[in-house]
Amino acid sequence: MNSARHRTATVDGYEIFYREAGHADAPVIVLLHGYPTSSFMFRELIPLLADDYHVIAPDHLGFGHSDAPLVGEFTYTFDALTELTSGLLDQLGLDRYALYVQDYGAPIGWRLALQHPERISALVTQNGNGYEDGFVESFWTDVWAYGANPGPDTEPAVRAALGVDAIRWQYLHGVPDPSLVSPDTWEHDFALVSREGNDEVQLALFRDYQNNRPLYPLLHEFLRTSEVPVLAVWGRNDEIFGPAGARAFARDAKDAEVHLINGGHFLLESHLDVVAGYLRGFLGRVLG
């Protein structure tokens, strides 16, 4: 049962693509991807989990193989992407699950947890930020400026993030041996971001990212009161979300397990076995 199935579901009129593997009656883990990728980032992790877990990995609207309506047809915000993800999980009948979040997957996962705390069996963050500590200033200064005042003075700096060089950088920065990272990763992502109109989709989400920050105190309260098990496994050389963002989870999550790995933002591309080992050990302990 460890081979992934590639499926779609219609949620609020949109086709949402997702990868599914494992036994239907096994504990569930939902994998939520970041920018600029899709569930493709989990293609090699899924088989390593599927023997023991029911794995669901959706593509957010506007990403991967999910529908990608233009900005005039859909208002892209992290609230809206969360509602679609929640609708998919409801449609699949999933009322208890662990969350694995990375990059954009984090603010979506935090919203899911805050909306339905009773559903969350565990949280795994792999370079998925939940604290102000995690923002690397040199990367985020331009994003904050664009969110605060979108226009011709601030847009060029963030639009550059849509280019192939910037996407390649996301995959290679902080990786001790860049030859481990397949060029298929950034070429795949660049092709999808380059679809007609998708640039405006991504810019809309850049503008909205500032609205994730007010969630952080609510997340921290959830971690303290729920005592949900937390694993932070993080590329310590990430120049987008720095290692202080991983360590910060230990402030609020009871007995948080934190591992800093000698890698970058997309840790699965260079350290798949290391991440999978920590993840399987953690899930085995907290989910049984």
Residues 167-202: tens digit of each pLDDT? 999 999 999 999 999 999 999 999 999 999 999 999
DSSP reduced 3-state for 128: coil
Residue 288 — pLDDT band, cuts 50, 70, 90? confident
The CA-atom distances, in angstroms, between 278 and each of 214, 254, 273, 275 are 30, 18, 9, 5
Other CB atoms within 10 Å distance of the CB of residue 108: 27
Of 43-47, 152-156, 274-278, 284-288, give the lowest mean pLDDT range: 284-288
Closest CA to 55 of 98, 93, 15: 98
Of 19-23, 37-41, 220-224, 284-288, give the lowest mean pLDDT range: 284-288
Q: Who contacts 205 (Cβ-Cβ below 8 Å, separation ≥6)? A: 35, 62, 76, 77, 78, 104
> Distance between terminal CA atoms of the chain?
19
Q: Are 252 and 133 in contact (CB under 8 A)?
A: no
Q: Who contacts 281 (Cβ-Cβ below 8 Å, separation ≥6)? A: none
Catalytic residue flag (residue 265): yes
Tokens standing for 110? Answer: 């935090």
The mean per-residue pLDDT over the stretch 8-14 comes to 98
Q: What is the reported pTM?
A: 0.98
DSSP reduced 3-state for 164: helix
Across the chain, mean pLDDT equals: 97
Closest CA to 97 of 57, 42, 66: 57
- Residues facing 31 on adjacent strands: 100
Tokens standing for 212? Answer: 């994730």
pLDDT value at residue 223: 98
pLDDT value at residue 2: 72
1 pLDDT more than 60: no
The catalytic residue among 33, 65, 188, 265 is: 265
8 pLDDT more than 80: yes
Q: Quote the CA–CA distance of 264 and 279 in Å, as a whole number.
A: 17
The mean per-residue pLDDT over the stretch 274-279 comes to 98
What percentage of the chain exceeds 90 in pLDDT? 99
pLDDT value at residue 119: 98
